[in-house]
Amino acid sequence: MTDIHPGFFHRLIVVTVLLMAAATLEAQDYSSQGADSCLPCHFTGQPKSATEIFFTKHASRTDPKAPFSRLQCETCHGPGQDHVFAQQRSLNVPPVNVFGRNSKTPVETQNQICLNCHETAGRLAWFGSRHQVENLSCASCHQVHRPRDRILDSLEQQKVCFECHPKRRSDTLKASSHPLRLGNMSCSDCHDPHDGNNDFLLQELTVNETCYTCHAEKQGPYLWEHAPASDNCSLCHRPHGSNHPSLLKKRPPLLCQQCHSPAGHPSTAYTSELTENNFSNRFMLGRACLNCHSQVHGSNHPSGATLHR
């Protein structure tokens, strides 16, 4: 074997020291003073003020998981030394991580920062959920720096949802709708936007179980069940809004005649020329079929087989 040159070790030590310096420099990409490096520019009254975060839980100094108990601003926004140096030289270099819809930071990176702490119950099935597949970032909906995240206010939350679901805004203004327009309830009372295991991102496993949360009187089981009501409430109802009473998709008698056709009054063609007919109009006017068949969700009366009682 060739003898090692005596100068080899000298060169080795120099290279090693340089490599260690480089590695140490990587650690020094974090600012020298943490939030005190950021806040002089991002102070109250400035265009990109960040001080409202001090009204929020993210600013806690006692919760070991909170960003300000760890690397302060840089916990989420990443090492900021380059950004600080550049700003001091009037160069435009953004922080490593910028959050929001039009950010150049990849959505996956943005979300992973949030999920490092918030991938808990309620977000266990985020990966593979519709919002995740559509590449939505947490910051598309959430505002971390505001004293109160707008998504927690029932009226403000709707506005966020309507940005991508504009049809639902018009639904809340229809003649029959859930109490969304005035903020008595919010989209998240029925839907879980983070968790994707349930159909339509519903809070509960099925449509009916979600409805029973507020309409428990319908849960039964009943002696005489109305099959479509036990199957799926949305077969007859349009939960976001309708111009028909009780959020129905159609008016009776046609709503019922879609499925019922025995000879006699259930299958008669009720036309506009029968409204003055004293026999036919009882099946069309008023509540139509529900003039007599009020128990459309099921009946617990021993004589309720036809949903009259």
Partner 1 sequence: MNRQPANATSIATLAALLLSVQTLADEAPVSVDTRDWLCAFCTYAEGWFGTLGIGPGYASDSSLKFADYRGIKEKGVFFSLDGDAHYLDETGRYFDLYSSNLGLDSRQLEMRGGRQGRFEIRLAYREIPKYRGYGTQTQVQGFGSDRLVLPGNWVRAPTTSGMSALDDSLRPVALEIKRKIFEAGLSFRMSGKWRYVADFQHTEKNGTRAFGAGVFTIQASHFPAPVDFSTNRIDMGLEYSSKRARLRFGFRSLNFNNRYNSVSWENPFTPVGNTALLRAALEPDSEFYQFSFTGNFRPTARLRLSAQASLGRFTQDQTFVPYSSNPDFDGLQPPRTSLNGKLDTNSLSARLTAGLSQNLSLQVNMKYDDRDNRTPVDSYTPVITDLVQRPGTLNRPYSFTRGQYSAEFSYRANSPFSFNAGAKQKNYRRTLQSVRETRESVWWGEVSVDQWSAAQLRLRLETSSRNISPYKQVSDPGLQENILMRKFHLADRDRDRVLIDLDLFPGDRLSAGISYFFTEDKYKQSILGLMKSNENNLSLDLGFAVRANLSLHAFFNLDNYKSDISGAQSDFMTPWTARTKDRFTTWGFGLGGKLSDRLDISIDYVSSKSRGRISTDSGAGEPPFPDLTSHLRNANIRLTYQASRKWGLTLQAEHENYDSSDWQIDGLGNDGISAILTLGPVSPQYSVTVLRILANYKF
Q: Of residues 88, 90, 92, 263, which one binds partner 1 by CB under 8 A?
A: 263
For residue 14, state whether it binds partner 1 (rule: CB under 8 A): no
Three-state secondary-structure class, residue 76: helix
DSSP element (H, E) containing 107 = helix 107-118
Q: b or e along 40-79 (b: 16 or more beta carbons within 10 Å of the residue's beta carbon)?
A: eebeeeeeeebeebeebebbeeeeeebbbeebbbbbbbbb
Of 28-36, 86-94, 138-146, the window that binds partner 1 (rule: CB under 8 A) is 28-36
Total residues found in the chain within this entry: 309
At 187, list the tokens: 């989209």
Q: Of residues 7, 27, 90, 92, which one binds partner 1 by CB under 8 A?
A: 27
DSSP alpha helices (H): ranges in 8-88?
8-27, 35-38, 73-77, 81-88
Q: Of residues 57, 86, 93, 200, which one binds partner 1 by CB under 8 A?
A: 57
CB of 43 to partner 1, least distance (A): 7
Q: Of residues 142, 150, 191, 244, which one binds partner 1 by CB under 8 A?
A: 244
At 150, list the tokens: 């707008």
* Residues 120-139 interacting with partner 1 (rule: CB under 8 A): 120-121, 124-125, 127-128, 133, 135
Q: Of residues 14, 85, 179, 200, which one binds partner 1 by CB under 8 A?
A: 179
Of 60-68, 85-93, 136-144, the window that binds partner 1 (rule: CB under 8 A) is 60-68
Binding residue count for partner 1, defined by CB under 8 A: 143
Of 27-35, 87-95, 138-146, the window that binds partner 1 (rule: CB under 8 A) is 27-35
d(C-alpha 200, C-alpha 198), whole Å: 6
